[in-house]
Structure 1
Amino acid sequence: MIIDKLHALTSPRLAVIDFNATVQTAAHWLSRPGVGLVVVCNGSGNAEGVLSKSDLVRHLAGSMSAPPVSALMSRSIVSCSLQDDVHAVWQTMAARNLQNIPVIDDAARPLGILDIRDAMKALFEQEEMQERMLFNYVSGVGYR
Protein backbone atom coordinates (compact mmCIF):
# COMPACT_ATOMS: atom_id res chain seq x y z
CA MET A 1 0.00 0.00 0.00
CA ILE A 2 1.25 3.47 -0.83
CA ILE A 3 0.86 6.70 1.15
CA ASP A 4 -1.43 8.17 -1.55
CA LYS A 5 -4.16 5.72 -0.42
CA LEU A 6 -4.18 7.54 2.95
CA HIS A 7 -4.62 11.04 1.46
CA ALA A 8 -8.10 11.39 2.99
CA LEU A 9 -6.48 10.99 6.42
CA THR A 10 -3.27 12.95 5.87
CA SER A 11 -4.60 16.10 4.18
CA PRO A 12 -6.96 17.30 6.96
CA ARG A 13 -4.03 17.21 9.44
CA LEU A 14 -1.91 19.52 7.33
CA ALA A 15 -0.98 22.72 9.15
CA VAL A 16 1.36 25.07 7.31
CA ILE A 17 2.85 28.24 8.75
CA ASP A 18 5.21 30.84 7.39
CA PHE A 19 8.92 30.80 8.16
CA ASN A 20 8.56 34.08 10.11
CA ALA A 21 5.35 33.16 11.95
CA THR A 22 5.14 33.75 15.69
CA VAL A 23 5.23 31.11 18.38
CA GLN A 24 1.61 32.04 19.15
CA THR A 25 0.60 31.19 15.57
CA ALA A 26 2.30 27.82 15.87
CA ALA A 27 0.62 27.23 19.25
CA HIS A 28 -2.75 28.10 17.72
CA TRP A 29 -2.33 25.46 14.99
CA LEU A 30 -0.91 22.86 17.39
CA SER A 31 -3.85 23.32 19.77
CA ARG A 32 -6.26 22.00 17.14
CA PRO A 33 -7.46 18.42 17.58
CA GLY A 34 -5.47 15.96 15.50
CA VAL A 35 -2.65 18.39 14.72
CA GLY A 36 0.66 17.32 16.25
CA LEU A 37 3.05 18.87 13.75
CA VAL A 38 3.17 22.05 11.69
CA VAL A 39 5.18 22.37 8.50
CA VAL A 40 7.16 25.60 8.30
CA CYS A 41 7.36 26.90 4.72
CA ASN A 42 9.24 29.67 2.97
CA GLY A 43 7.58 32.30 0.79
CA SER A 44 7.49 29.89 -2.16
CA GLY A 45 5.53 27.32 -0.17
CA ASN A 46 8.44 24.90 0.11
CA ALA A 47 8.95 23.06 3.39
CA GLU A 48 11.90 24.42 5.37
CA GLY A 49 11.30 22.62 8.64
CA VAL A 50 8.76 21.23 11.07
CA LEU A 51 7.63 22.21 14.54
CA SER A 52 6.05 19.69 16.89
CA LYS A 53 4.13 20.14 20.12
CA SER A 54 7.20 18.79 21.91
CA ASP A 55 9.44 21.43 20.30
CA LEU A 56 7.07 24.17 21.45
CA VAL A 57 6.78 22.84 25.01
CA ARG A 58 10.57 22.44 25.26
CA HIS A 59 10.99 26.09 24.25
CA LEU A 60 8.35 27.37 26.64
CA ALA A 61 9.82 25.37 29.53
CA GLY A 62 13.18 27.04 29.08
CA SER A 63 12.30 30.54 27.96
CA MET A 64 9.40 32.93 27.75
CA SER A 65 10.82 34.83 24.78
CA ALA A 66 8.86 34.84 21.54
CA PRO A 67 11.24 34.15 18.64
CA PRO A 68 9.88 33.30 15.18
CA VAL A 69 9.16 29.63 14.57
CA SER A 70 12.20 29.44 12.30
CA ALA A 71 14.35 29.62 15.45
CA LEU A 72 12.55 26.66 17.04
CA MET A 73 11.80 24.36 14.12
CA SER A 74 13.65 21.20 13.21
CA ARG A 75 15.37 21.86 9.90
CA SER A 76 16.15 18.22 9.24
CA ILE A 77 12.81 17.02 7.88
CA VAL A 78 11.95 13.33 7.91
CA SER A 79 9.18 13.09 5.34
CA CYS A 80 7.53 10.78 2.87
CA SER A 81 6.01 11.11 -0.59
CA LEU A 82 2.71 9.89 -2.01
CA GLN A 83 4.52 7.02 -3.76
CA ASP A 84 6.24 5.66 -0.62
CA ASP A 85 5.23 2.33 0.88
CA VAL A 86 3.25 2.68 4.11
CA HIS A 87 5.15 -0.16 5.80
CA ALA A 88 8.55 1.39 4.99
CA VAL A 89 7.37 4.79 6.26
CA TRP A 90 5.98 3.22 9.43
CA GLN A 91 9.33 1.49 10.03
CA THR A 92 11.13 4.83 9.69
CA MET A 93 8.69 6.52 12.07
CA ALA A 94 9.03 3.73 14.63
CA ALA A 95 12.84 3.68 14.40
CA ARG A 96 13.06 7.45 14.90
CA ASN A 97 10.27 7.59 17.50
CA LEU A 98 8.16 9.97 15.38
CA GLN A 99 4.41 10.36 15.84
CA ASN A 100 3.86 12.47 12.70
CA ILE A 101 5.71 13.15 9.46
CA PRO A 102 4.86 15.43 6.57
CA VAL A 103 3.84 14.08 3.19
CA ILE A 104 5.81 16.18 0.67
CA ASP A 105 5.58 16.39 -3.13
CA ASP A 106 8.55 16.44 -5.52
CA ALA A 107 8.77 20.24 -5.27
CA ALA A 108 9.05 20.09 -1.44
CA ARG A 109 5.48 21.35 -0.98
CA PRO A 110 3.54 19.81 1.92
CA LEU A 111 0.48 17.72 1.03
CA GLY A 112 -0.48 16.28 4.41
CA ILE A 113 0.67 14.87 7.73
CA LEU A 114 0.87 11.14 8.33
CA ASP A 115 0.10 10.08 11.90
CA ILE A 116 1.71 6.82 13.01
CA ARG A 117 -1.68 5.55 14.23
CA ASP A 118 -3.12 5.91 10.72
CA ALA A 119 -0.17 4.03 9.25
CA MET A 120 -0.58 1.25 11.81
CA LYS A 121 -4.34 1.05 11.18
CA ALA A 122 -3.82 0.83 7.40
CA LEU A 123 -1.22 -1.91 7.83
CA PHE A 124 -3.47 -3.83 10.21
CA GLU A 125 -6.43 -3.60 7.81
CA GLN A 126 -4.21 -4.77 4.95
CA GLU A 127 -3.11 -7.80 7.01
CA GLU A 128 -6.72 -8.60 7.93
CA MET A 129 -7.74 -8.50 4.26
CA GLN A 130 -4.87 -10.79 3.27
CA GLU A 131 -5.81 -13.18 6.07
CA ARG A 132 -9.46 -13.28 4.87
CA MET A 133 -8.34 -13.89 1.29
CA LEU A 134 -6.06 -16.73 2.36
CA PHE A 135 -8.80 -18.25 4.52
CA ASN A 136 -11.27 -18.05 1.62
CA TYR A 137 -8.73 -19.62 -0.72
CA VAL A 138 -7.93 -22.49 1.65
CA SER A 139 -11.59 -23.17 2.46
CA GLY A 140 -12.60 -23.01 -1.21
CA VAL A 141 -15.01 -20.09 -0.88
CA GLY A 142 -16.16 -19.06 -4.34
CA TYR A 143 -15.34 -22.40 -5.95
CA ARG A 144 -18.44 -24.38 -5.03
Structure 2
Amino acid sequence: MEDVMRIDSLHPVISARLMVVDVDATLRNAALSFSNPAIGLVVVCHGSGEAAGVLSKSDLVRHLANSGSAEATVSTLMSRSIVSCGPEDDVHSVWQTMVAQRLQNIPVLGAGSKPLGILDIRDAMKALFEQEELQERLLANYIGGIGYQ
Protein backbone atom coordinates (compact mmCIF):
# COMPACT_ATOMS: atom_id res chain seq x y z
CA MET A 1 0.00 0.00 0.00
CA GLU A 2 1.33 3.40 -1.00
CA ASP A 3 2.03 5.95 1.71
CA VAL A 4 -0.31 8.90 1.67
CA MET A 5 1.33 12.24 2.32
CA ARG A 6 -1.14 14.64 3.88
CA ILE A 7 -1.22 18.36 3.22
CA ASP A 8 -0.67 19.12 6.92
CA SER A 9 2.75 17.40 6.74
CA LEU A 10 3.82 20.48 4.75
CA HIS A 11 2.54 22.89 7.43
CA PRO A 12 5.74 24.98 7.82
CA VAL A 13 5.83 25.64 4.05
CA ILE A 14 2.12 26.28 3.53
CA SER A 15 1.74 28.52 6.58
CA ALA A 16 4.75 30.63 5.51
CA ARG A 17 2.96 31.40 2.20
CA LEU A 18 -0.33 32.42 3.85
CA MET A 19 -1.34 36.04 3.35
CA VAL A 20 -4.82 37.19 4.32
CA VAL A 21 -6.58 40.47 3.49
CA ASP A 22 -10.00 41.74 4.55
CA VAL A 23 -12.84 41.93 1.97
CA ASP A 24 -12.89 45.70 2.45
CA ALA A 25 -9.13 46.18 1.90
CA THR A 26 -8.05 48.18 -1.15
CA LEU A 27 -6.24 46.59 -4.07
CA ARG A 28 -3.28 48.84 -3.15
CA ASN A 29 -3.26 47.16 0.27
CA ALA A 30 -3.38 43.72 -1.36
CA ALA A 31 -0.47 44.72 -3.62
CA LEU A 32 1.67 45.18 -0.50
CA SER A 33 1.05 41.51 0.37
CA PHE A 34 2.42 40.53 -3.04
CA SER A 35 5.66 42.47 -2.49
CA ASN A 36 6.93 39.25 -0.86
CA PRO A 37 8.08 37.08 -3.83
CA ALA A 38 6.91 33.88 -2.08
CA ILE A 39 3.30 35.12 -2.18
CA GLY A 40 1.32 34.41 -5.35
CA LEU A 41 -2.18 34.26 -3.93
CA VAL A 42 -3.93 36.03 -1.07
CA VAL A 43 -6.99 34.73 0.73
CA VAL A 44 -9.71 37.34 1.13
CA CYS A 45 -11.58 36.95 4.41
CA HIS A 46 -14.68 38.27 6.13
CA GLY A 47 -14.22 39.85 9.55
CA SER A 48 -15.09 36.46 11.07
CA GLY A 49 -11.95 34.99 9.51
CA GLU A 50 -13.88 32.87 7.01
CA ALA A 51 -12.51 32.77 3.43
CA ALA A 52 -14.66 34.81 1.02
CA GLY A 53 -12.47 34.53 -2.06
CA VAL A 54 -8.94 34.58 -3.44
CA LEU A 55 -6.91 37.13 -5.37
CA SER A 56 -3.94 36.13 -7.49
CA LYS A 57 -0.93 38.29 -8.22
CA SER A 58 -1.55 37.94 -11.97
CA ASP A 59 -5.20 39.10 -11.63
CA LEU A 60 -4.07 42.18 -9.71
CA VAL A 61 -1.28 43.02 -12.18
CA ARG A 62 -3.68 42.59 -15.13
CA HIS A 63 -6.22 44.91 -13.42
CA LEU A 64 -3.66 47.61 -12.70
CA ALA A 65 -2.05 47.30 -16.17
CA ASN A 66 -5.47 48.03 -17.69
CA SER A 67 -5.65 51.28 -15.68
CA GLY A 68 -7.91 49.75 -13.03
CA SER A 69 -8.26 51.62 -9.75
CA ALA A 70 -5.84 50.73 -6.95
CA GLU A 71 -8.36 52.13 -4.47
CA ALA A 72 -11.12 49.64 -5.38
CA THR A 73 -11.76 46.97 -2.76
CA VAL A 74 -10.38 43.47 -3.20
CA SER A 75 -13.96 42.15 -3.17
CA THR A 76 -14.49 43.73 -6.63
CA LEU A 77 -11.68 41.70 -8.19
CA MET A 78 -11.42 38.52 -6.08
CA SER A 79 -12.53 35.13 -7.34
CA ARG A 80 -15.44 33.92 -5.20
CA SER A 81 -15.34 30.33 -6.41
CA ILE A 82 -12.46 28.99 -4.34
CA VAL A 83 -10.73 25.78 -5.37
CA SER A 84 -9.22 24.66 -2.08
CA CYS A 85 -7.96 21.67 -0.15
CA GLY A 86 -7.98 20.62 3.49
CA PRO A 87 -5.16 19.61 5.86
CA GLU A 88 -6.14 15.91 5.68
CA ASP A 89 -6.09 15.80 1.86
CA ASP A 90 -3.49 13.76 -0.03
CA VAL A 91 -0.72 15.90 -1.55
CA HIS A 92 -0.67 13.81 -4.76
CA SER A 93 -4.43 14.22 -5.33
CA VAL A 94 -4.25 17.97 -4.69
CA TRP A 95 -1.28 18.26 -7.05
CA GLN A 96 -3.29 16.45 -9.76
CA THR A 97 -6.16 18.92 -9.28
CA MET A 98 -3.76 21.85 -9.53
CA VAL A 99 -2.25 20.51 -12.77
CA ALA A 100 -5.68 19.78 -14.27
CA GLN A 101 -7.00 23.26 -13.42
CA ARG A 102 -3.70 25.05 -14.15
CA LEU A 103 -3.41 26.44 -10.62
CA GLN A 104 -0.08 27.71 -9.32
CA ASN A 105 -1.38 28.07 -5.75
CA ILE A 106 -4.26 26.61 -3.78
CA PRO A 107 -5.54 27.71 -0.36
CA VAL A 108 -5.60 25.18 2.47
CA LEU A 109 -8.81 25.72 4.45
CA GLY A 110 -9.65 24.23 7.83
CA ALA A 111 -12.89 24.07 9.81
CA GLY A 112 -15.28 26.95 9.10
CA SER A 113 -13.35 27.84 5.92
CA LYS A 114 -10.54 29.35 8.00
CA PRO A 115 -7.33 29.70 5.95
CA LEU A 116 -4.41 27.61 7.25
CA GLY A 117 -1.98 28.14 4.41
CA ILE A 118 -1.28 28.22 0.69
CA LEU A 119 0.12 25.25 -1.22
CA ASP A 120 2.39 26.27 -4.09
CA ILE A 121 2.59 23.67 -6.88
CA ARG A 122 6.40 23.69 -6.70
CA ASP A 123 6.26 22.79 -2.99
CA ALA A 124 3.88 19.92 -3.76
CA MET A 125 6.16 18.61 -6.53
CA LYS A 126 9.24 18.85 -4.29
CA ALA A 127 7.51 16.92 -1.47
CA LEU A 128 6.27 14.22 -3.87
CA PHE A 129 9.71 13.88 -5.45
CA GLU A 130 11.43 13.57 -2.04
CA GLN A 131 8.87 10.96 -0.91
CA GLU A 132 9.50 8.93 -4.09
CA GLU A 133 13.29 9.18 -3.63
CA LEU A 134 13.04 7.95 -0.02
CA GLN A 135 10.89 4.97 -1.01
CA GLU A 136 13.34 3.99 -3.77
CA ARG A 137 16.29 4.21 -1.33
CA LEU A 138 14.46 2.05 1.25
CA LEU A 139 13.62 -0.53 -1.39
CA ALA A 140 17.21 -0.60 -2.72
CA ASN A 141 18.54 -1.10 0.84
CA TYR A 142 16.05 -3.89 1.46
CA ILE A 143 16.89 -5.67 -1.81
CA GLY A 144 20.62 -5.15 -1.16
CA GLY A 145 20.30 -7.08 2.08
CA ILE A 146 20.92 -4.05 4.28
CA GLY A 147 17.33 -4.16 5.52
CA TYR A 148 15.18 -1.24 6.52
CA GLN A 149 16.99 1.43 8.50
TM-score range, shorter chain: over 0.9
What is the CA distance between 1:64 and its match in structure 2? 3.1
List structure 1 segments (4+ residues) > 4 angstroms apart after TM superposition. none
What is the CA distance between 1:12 and its match in structure 2? 1.0
Give 2:22's aligned residue: 18
Q: What is the RMSD computed on CA atoms of the aligned residues? A: 1.1
CA distance in 1, matches of 2:147, 2:9: 28
CA distance in 1, matches of 2:68, 2:83: 28
Gap runs ≥5 in structure 1: none
Residue 53 (structure 1) aligned with residue 53 (structure 2): no
Give 1:5's aligned residue: 9
TM score, norm. by length of structure 2:
0.93
Which letter maps to 2:113? A
Residue among 107, 122, 128 paired with 1:123: 128
User: What whole-Å deviation, never above 9, does each CA across 1:89-139 have from its counterpart, x for those lacking one?
Assistant: 000011111111111002100001111111000000000011011111111
Give 1:97's aligned residue: 102
**1:52-91 to 2 correspondence within 5 Å?**
52-65=56-69, 66-91=71-96
User: What whole-Å deviation, never above 9, does each CA across 1:57-115 have from its counterpart, x for those lacking one?
Assistant: 12112233231000000111011110000000000011111111111002100001111
CA distance in 2, matches of 1:32, 1:124: 26
**Equivalences, count:** 143
Gap runs ≥5 in structure 2: none
CA distance in 2, matches of 1:124, 1:23: 36
The percentage of counterpart residues that share the same residue type is 67
CA distance in 2, matches of 1:52, 1:35: 9
What is the CA distance between 1:53 and its match in structure 2? 0.5
